[in-house]
Structure 1
Amino acid sequence: MRRRLVGLIKNLVKRVQRSLRTQLILTFVFCLAFAAAIEIVIIQLLEDKFASRYVETYTGMKEMEHQTQHLAGVINRVQELYPLDPASQKSEIQNLLNDGERDTLANTATFRIVDEKGEVMIRSENASRESVNLSDLLRRVMEQRNQTQFLDQTSAFVTLYPVEFVDKEAYLICTGIPREEVQQGEKFTEAGALLFVVIFLFLFYQITKRKTDYIEELSRELKVISQGKLGHRVRKRGEDELGILAHSINQMAEDLEAKIEEERKAERLKNELISNVSHDLRTPLTSIIGYLRLLHEGRAKTSEEQREYLRIAFGKSEQLQRLVEDLFEYTKLSHHDVRLAKQIVSLNELVGQISEEYVPLLEESELQLVSKLSERELSVDLDPEKMVRVFENLLINAIKYSHKPSVVELCLQEQDGGALLLLRNRGDDIAQEQLERLFERFYRLDQSRSTDSGGSGLGLAISKSIVDLHGGKVWATSNAGVITFYVWLPVAEPQAERQL
């Protein structure tokens, strides 16, 4: 039970901490209650010390009047209940008068019924038998009713109401000493109300000042961020709506900073693309124009020189064509404007076929290919033509950058619910920063950008785009001169499950 109670309290505290509205309501209620308590205590102290006392009988007078008026009404109803039985009327009215006398405080009031001459017709047990002067009595009643607070304590209070008694007009007279109350002469109600307002406002301001200061701080910090300082962060206080707002401001600044950085990177890559394309197009184009100019000006002395110039110009033209085609293909792949002709393919057979086709080229480059393919057939839903381009790019990359002679390893295995292809070769160690940029467009490890050794610089970028379109991943590692490229592709569902 105790544990449940502690858990309930903790849960309530958490809810209060997470709700600014609840905190303000509780603060308002607390300030209201505290200010009211302080007001009561202060007013009581002031009245005890400064207020004068006096005896007030007005309330007792009103009580006697109300009791007499009520008794007169009951007596009149008795007349209606026993219209033809005077004896029963007298008996009931006598009991009413006696009960009325006993009901007064300390039996201080008596009741009499007198006729129009002032003669007593019936009375309560302790009432006087003497007749009364109705004129003097009425004047006295009027004078006493005009008094609101003070009354001579030595004189009795008298009030009367007309009644019927035994079919005669009569008067019910109540005579007695009214109840006394001690009252204070000075009241501090207005001062107490002012004190309540002051205490409430002071407490509410002091308790909510932390929240209002935090709101002002958020406003200032947001203004700093709006001035372009996106690296600036707002302090988060609490778990309520203001804390959530601070987190949202920081998240917004972080997202804006990342977006602006991404835009800057895109702008930088665009400039690099323009520069790289211009360089890579200009280099073969310059050679083509140069050799054609030599032929046009007749500087080739022999037919052998003419054929050599034409061979070089034709080779540069093919190189230019490949660059343009690679650039066009990369642009399509990067903007997802290409449709894949997918089909279920055995990756074991596809990789084995490509590796066999490249064995002669590898041997020509003094490289030995060692293949280790998974014994279990790994089927992948892919576009064979596009994926062949990926594997060929990786093999060509290994041929260009491997130390000669050395071994190139090709492995295919199942991993993380997919097919993982590893291509490992020995070459110059690659720094981590360069590894992260290997799959960027136009990036070459050869910083001189020689197309003779480094190609167009789009091969790995095209490979990454193709793998991404297939829902896979591609990355590279380098350790002690061993460079490994990884291609992971999701394995296709079994045919039975696909039909279901």
Structure 2
Amino acid sequence: MKTINRILISSVFFALISIASILGVMSIIFASLVPEYGKEMLDKDVFNAEEILNDFDAASAEWGVLRADLNRYGYHLLVIKGNQVVFSDLADTRTKVIASLKELNLQENIVTGKTNDVTFVVKPAGGYGIFALKGAVDDVKLTGLLSGFLPTYLIVSFVAIVVILLLSLFFTRQMAWRVLRPLKALSNGAQRIEKGDLSEPVAHKGKDEFAEVAAAFNHMQESLLEERKKTAAYEAARIDLIAGISHDLRTPLTSVKGYIKGLRDGVANTPEKREHYLSIAYKKACDMEVLLQKLFYFSNLETGHVPIMPENNDLGTFGCQFAESVRDELAARNIKITAEVTSVPHPVSIDAEQMRRVLMNLTENVTKYNKAEAPEIRIAVWRENGMEHLLFADNGGGVPDEHLPHLFKRFWRGDESRRVASGDGSGLGLYICQYIVEAHGGKIGARNQGGLQIQISLPCPKEERS
């Protein structure tokens, strides 16, 4: 059974119980009050009957005249002498009433009373007991109350029951729809998501609990949509990466094949030419190895197979040692490198091998993209705000400002011409740098200032923080 039908049936059931309880209480009250009402109330015309009997002369025995006078007020005449009924216009003998009246101890005065639900006025005169009788049960309780009040009571009760049930159904249905409408919207939203439609949010106005559920559902849908966009962009970048790597591998591979073919065909017919061909083929093979290693390293990053094993180290000493280790190689390319380190200690906890990879990637970028006449690299280390900072700066032209927020994204290449010219368009170098630095709990950022500046910030050991 549907929820709305359950709610409606429950509402009608409880409404009927409430109505039945009210009617039951009213019936009990009515049943207890009506008999008392009938017993205690004398007829309204009893004083007229007293006056008629008081003025009547019993010696005349004109019972028909007396009856006519009493009948005008709805009273019946009963005349008793001794134990005999002399005159009566009652519909029946009313033996029980007459027996009760005979037992009255009649005095000389008129007596008014009620017995067996009959209002009576009795006058003893000339040995007669003259009674004016009016049935209170017939005239007051049954006729006045039951025949007047009871039908009205039943009609009003019926109308009230119908109105209460209709109102109960109306308001219950409204409340049920207020509950079921957002549930229906959530159900439709879930079906849309199942079909892949994440564009339409769940609409729900109000500040009730369902508003929070709808907001959470919409937030989930937005997250799924954003994740879908990221996945689509990631897949597009991955396809582009494969195409780029294929292109980048094809060039040195073609060269290797060409030089080997030259050796096999005897083009290199002197020892010097053969040595030259072999050297070039070896260098191109090394270039392919570097590219494949970078791709393999990236794959390990994605699968979480690159362990970071930090050890206590001095960032200033590490920067100086790196500059010294690559100075000769860079000098051969006409690139100058300097290290500026303050004299104070710069303790950090780093994986030296992984952090060296970061600086090597930054160095490779300078060798590929720095177009200055006399390229320079400057490494500076200092402490600030409880963090150790390493600045890696060059004197090139930097990058366009709109490219700065995207430098560390995986597969991102800001300048397609660079990939073609350099033969390395993977877009992984700076992404790998960011991954390694953040794995150490640090941050990395870029800015243009006399060239491109990459700043790495690493936390100091807890005991060294100030």
State the partner residue of 1:285. Answer: 253
Would the aligned equivalents of 1:400 and 1:453 in 2 still touch at CA under 8 Å? no
The separation in 2 between residues aligned to 1:446 and 1:193, in whole angstroms, is 81
Alpha-carbon separation, structure 1, partners of 2:242 and 2:461: 40
Give distance in 1, aligned partners of 2:365 and 2:282.
Answer: 24
Q: Tell me the distance in 2 between the aligned counterparts of 1:442 and 1:266.
A: 8
Following superposition, the deviation at residue 257 of structure 1 comes to 0.8
> Which residue, 459, 464, 469 being the options, matches 2:434?
464
1:58 matched to 2:35? The reply is yes
Calculate the TM-score normalised by the size of structure 1: 0.59
The change in CA–CA distance for 1:143 and 1:471 in structure 2 (over 3 A counts) is: farther
Cα distance in 1 between the residues matched to 2:264 and 2:195: 62
For the Cα contact (< 8 Å) 1:348–1:378, is it kept in 2?
yes
CA contact under 8 A between 2:309 and 2:351: conserved in structure 1?
Answer: yes
**1: CA distance, partners of 2:169 / 2:414:** 72
Partner of residue 127, structure 2? none
- Determine if the alignment matches structure 1 residue 401 to structure 2 residue 369: yes
Question: How far apart, CA to CA, are the structure 1 residues paired with 2:432 and 2:367?
Answer: 18
Give yes or no for the alignment of 1:139 onto 2:107: no
Secondary structure, counterpart of 1:156 in structure 2: strand
How many angstroms apart in 2 are the aligned matches of 1:140 and 1:468? Answer: 112
Percent identity reads 28
**Cα distance, 1:328–1:216 mapped onto 2, change above 3 Å:** closer
Letter paired with 1:313:
A
Match in the other structure for 2:382: 413
Which of 330, 339, 349 is 2:307 aligned to? 339
Which runs of no fewer than 5 residues in structure 1 stay unpaired? 1-23, 41-55, 65-131, 145-153, 160-176
Q: Tell me which residue corresponds to 1:83.
A: none
Q: 1:261 aligns with which of 210, 217, 229?
A: 229
For each residue in 1:127-164, what CA deviation from the matched residue of structure 2 results, as whole angstroms up to 9, or x when unmatched? xxxxx98xx998339999xxxxxxxxx762259xxxxx
> 1:295 aligned to 259, 263, 268, which one?
263
Q: Deviations over 1:319-366 (max 9, x none)?
A: 222222222223223322133332111111111222233444555555
- Are 1:231 and 2:199 an aligned pair? yes
Task: Please report the TM-score for the alignment, with normalisation by the length of structure 2.
Answer: 0.63
Confirm or deny that 1:330 pairs with 2:307. Answer: no
Aligned counterpart in structure 1 of residue 114 of structure 2, from 152, 156, 163: 156
How large is the Cα RMSD of the aligned pairs?
4.3
Are the equivalent residues in 1 in contact too, given 2:354–2:436 (CA < 8 A)?
yes
* 3-state SS of 2:306 partner: coil
Does the CA-based 8 Å contact 1:422-1:484 persist in structure 2?
Answer: yes
**Distance in structure 2 (CA, Å) of the matches to 1:419 and 1:493:** 12
Closer, same or farther: CA 455–155 of 1 in aligned 2, 3 Å: closer
Q: Is the 8 A contact 1:276 1:442 kept in 2?
A: no
Number of equivalenced pairs: 355
Task: Give unmatched runs, 5+ long, in structure 2.
Answer: 1-6, 24-32, 42-81, 84-92, 102-111, 118-134
> Which residue does 2:132 correspond to in 1?
none
Q: Post-superposition shift, 1:447?
A: 2.2
Cα displacement string for residues 365-396 of structure 1 (whole angstroms, at most 9, x for unaligned residues) = 55554543344422111111221221232233
